[in-house]
Amino acid sequence: MNQTENYLHEFLRIFFANQRLIKRVFLFFAAITLLIPVLAKPTFDITAEVLVQSKKLPQMDPSGGALNKLSDVFVPPTLIDMETESSILRSPALVRRTVEQLYAEGHFQEEPGLLQRWVSDPWRRHVSEPFQAHVLNPLRELFGMEVEPIRDNLLDALAMMVLEDLEIQTLPGSNVISVAYSAGEPVFGTLLINRLLDTYLIHRQELYSNDLPLDFYEQKKLQYQERLKGLEEQRLTLLEGAKAANPDEEITFLLSAINQEELNLSQYRDRALEGNRWLDYLQKSLNVATQARLNDYSFPYTFAQTLENATYDDREIRQLGDRLIELVSQYGTESDIFQADSVPMQTLRAQIQRARQQFLQVVRNRIQEREKNQEIVTGVIAQKSERVAEYKSRIRDLQGIQSQLRQLNTEIEALHQAFFAYTQRYEESRTSDVLGALSNARILTRPFEPTEATFPVPSKVIPLGLLTGLLLAIALGYIREFFDHRFKHPGQVGEQLGLPVLMTIDADDPDQTDPHKTGRLPWIRHWAAS
């Protein structure tokens, strides 16, 4: 029957068997942990954030003039824009420029050592500045060679020290750049980051700005004035030749007039067609009435007119027609009484004949009036048709002028836009407060002076150091036990050799009691050594 192995017993056995090593290693790391907060130089993390805003693209109104702005279009920053801004912030030239300003103001109290200055300037690693100043340069001047200027590599070393402790990165998924600097002095670190941000804005403006000289601007201004004057003269000449002030409004007015004239022309044509049909009918009726017999009744048309739902009769026609009807009726009555060749019948026939001739003459006059009216309507139709044709011809001329004016306006518009662009760039380069107008980068948060050091923090360093020392000491004890192949207890003899154990002799020394008083320094020394 296999005996179950007791892991806790094995762990405690190894632990107490190597307690001296474990205790010494633990005390060593504990001492180092306690000394770190005391001896380590405190470090302060100073942070700031830069916001990269969307790019503003000004839009121009192509129809209302180049100087009339529409609503601006904003383009969000891309990943390339964020990387560009980060590269500008971490550029050595920018850091060196900031360090140079602070060094000139006397803010750098600690200068880099010889090793740091040696590494910061690789070109002069093997040539010192005095050797170059007193040996190389005079020899170069003697042989007529170009003398290399002496450059103090102190600023390069200081800039390198700042870059080592400066961390710039873009926050994931945002348009914010984080700036972090580890400094031993919080006041100096805060001043350095503030000055770095200010220098960044100025340096960025120098990169993105495009200054225009005043002479160039004045030259463009004169060219703009001359060209604009020539285009305006062409426009005025074109309008004067066409005798038009505003072709667009005139075309609109002419189209409205053509619409009205064509509407009236349609009405007159309807009236002319109607009048021609009536004249044909009246002429046929007159021919029939001329060849009618004596006792036939009068004309079949009364020449009545209807205006606004009111009927107006021709009084003369009505009277003559009634008189003729009365005579014809009387002739029929008298013919039953008198003979046809009697005097009353002859007299009555003569009266009917005269009345009929008079009636037919009035009818002819009315037909002539209608014919004259038709001639007038035909003349009006011809006049209105001619007027519509003139209007259309004028519109075609104005449309041609409008096309030429549109070309001139396009050139004037392009000229306005070009001059406005030059003016805007000139004003931007001339304005002192140009950073807020051009730059799309803003300081989101300025650095502030920290009150507590980020390293070392005793509340974190001591527990982690003690725990690490304890685990490492136990691990070293297990490693020592792993490489120690001696028998530690009687059970190992039977397991390894297969021989029975008859007797064990305890060869350990008896426990030595500590003669010193508990809590004093000799007691601690004896406890650590035992």
Give the model confidence (pLDDT) of 328-375 as tens digits. 888 888 887 888 788 888 888 888 888 888 888 888 898 899 899 999
Contacts of 184 (CB under 8 A, 6+ apart): 41, 42, 43, 44
Say if CB 58 and CB 517 are below 8 A apart.
no
Q: Which pLDDT belongs to residue 500? A: 80
What are the φ and ψ backbone dihedral angles of 48, each rounded to 5 degrees? -150, 165
Contacts of 200 (CB under 8 A, 6+ apart): 50, 88, 89, 94, 441
Q: Which pLDDT belongs to residue 101? A: 87
Q: pLDDT tens digits, residue range 235-287?
A: 888 888 888 888 888 888 989 999 999 999 999 999 899 889 988 988 888 88
Q: Which pLDDT belongs to residue 435? A: 41
Confidence at 72, pLDDT banded by 50, 70, 90: low
**Is residue 388 over pLDDT 80?**
yes
Residue 133: what residue type? A
Query: What are the tokens at 64?
Result: 């209302």
Say if CB 178 and CB 47 are below 8 A apart.
yes
CA 329 to each of CA 159, 284, 297: distance values in angstroms, whole numbers, following the listed order: 138, 25, 9
C-alpha 29/C-alpha 40 separation (Å) is 15
Q: Which pLDDT belongs to residue 269? A: 92
What count of other Cβ atoms lies within 10 Å of the Cβ of residue 125? Answer: 11
Residue 441: what residue type? A
Query: In DSSP terms, which residues pair with 55 in a beta bridge?
Result: 75
Q: What is the pTM of this model?
A: 0.45
Q: Which pLDDT belongs to residue 386? A: 92
Q: What is the CA radius of gyration of the chain?
A: 60
Say if CB 289 and CB 355 are below 8 A apart.
no
Write out the E strands in 87-137. none
Q: pLDDT tens digits, residue range 488-497?
A: 767 777 777 7
C-alpha 90/C-alpha 162 separation (Å) is 10
Mean pLDDT of the chain: 77
Q: pLDDT tens digits, residue range 282-306?
A: 888 888 888 877 767 667 777 877 7
The residue-averaged pLDDT of 198-221 equals: 73
Residue 119: what residue type? V
The residue-averaged pLDDT of 442-458 equals: 80
Q: Which pLDDT belongs to residue 524? A: 60
CATH superfamily of 41-111+154-209+437-451: FepE-like (3.30.1890.10)
Q: Which pLDDT belongs to residue 49? A: 92
Helix (H) / strand (E) element for 196: namely helix 186-208
**Is residue 433 over pLDDT 50?**
no
**Is residue 376 over pLDDT 90?**
yes
C-alpha 205/C-alpha 436 separation (Å) is 10
Confidence at 121, pLDDT banded by 50, 70, 90: very low
The residue-averaged pLDDT of 41-60 equals: 78
Helix (H) / strand (E) element for 49: namely strand 44-52
Q: Which pLDDT belongs to residue 297? A: 66
CA dihedral for 124, 127, 128, 130, sign (positive or negative) = negative
C-alpha 472/C-alpha 21 separation (Å) is 11
Say if CB 199 and CB 441 are below 8 A apart.
no
Query: In DSSP terms, which residues pair with 181 in a beta bridge?
Result: 46, 166
Q: By mean pLDDT, which of 109-118, 152-161, 232-241 is the weakest? A: 109-118
What is the domain partition of the chain in residue ranges?
Answer: 41-111+154-209+437-451, 241-428
